[in-house]
């Protein structure tokens, strides 16, 4: 029963971490794309700017970096398994 509680608490906590971390990385990526465009705009057209940012974000969505955020679910479980083993192994 305690194990179910642990799983539930971890799931909730790690979901909070996952959502905030992915929002942060997305925001940083978008800011970088905006700054890139604003530093040297190839054409003076707001629609082209929006398209440039949308294209950059599409690349980010399929990137490895975004997928690696899912590690926030994996790492705590691995750490708990390791600590449990080290504590109880004779």
Partner 1 sequence: MRRVFLIIRVMAIVVVAGFLHYVLPQHDIARVTGTEIIRTDFSGLNRIFYAQADSGNVGSETRDLRLINTSRRASYLFGLVRGGEQVMVYRNEDTGWIWPPFFKFDSSDLQAQAQDLVSTSAAPQWVVVRHYGWRNRFLTIFPNATAMWVVDGPDVRVIPWFNIIFFIFLALAWGFIRLMWRQFRQRTVDPAVTRANETWDGIEASATTNRGRMSRWLETWRRK
88 binds partner 1 (CB under 8 A): yes
Structure tokens at 13: 């906590």
Q: How far is the CB of 55 from partner 1 (least distance, A)?
A: 20
**CA diameter of the chain:** 70
CB crowding 54-72: b at 16 or more within 10 Å, else e = eebeeebeeeeeeeebeeb
Query: In Å, how far from its chain's centre is CA 28?
Result: 11
Q: Which C-beta is closer to partner 1: that of 55 or that of 75?
A: 75
Residue pair 73/14 in contact (Cβ under 8 Å)? The answer is yes
Q: How far is the CB of 80 from partner 1 (least distance, A)?
A: 7
Among 5, 38, 44, 62, binds partner 1 (CB under 8 A): 5
Q: Which C-beta is closer to partner 1: that of 42 or that of 56?
A: 56
- Enumerate binding residues for partner 1 (CB under 8 A): 2-3, 5-6, 9, 20-21, 24, 27-28, 30-31, 80, 83-84, 87-88, 90
């Amino acid at each position: 029963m305690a194990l179910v509680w642990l799983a539930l608490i971890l799931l909730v906590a790690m979901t909070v971490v996952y959502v905030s971390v992915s929002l942060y990385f997305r925001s940083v990526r978008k800011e970088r794309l905006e700054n890139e465009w604003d530093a040297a705009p190839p054409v003076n057209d707001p629609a082209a700017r929006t398209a440039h940012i949308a294209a950059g974000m599409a690349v980010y969505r399929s990137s490895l970096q975004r997928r690696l955020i899912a590690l926030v679910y994996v790492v705590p479980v691995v750490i708990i398994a390791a600590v449990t083993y080290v504590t109880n192994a004779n």
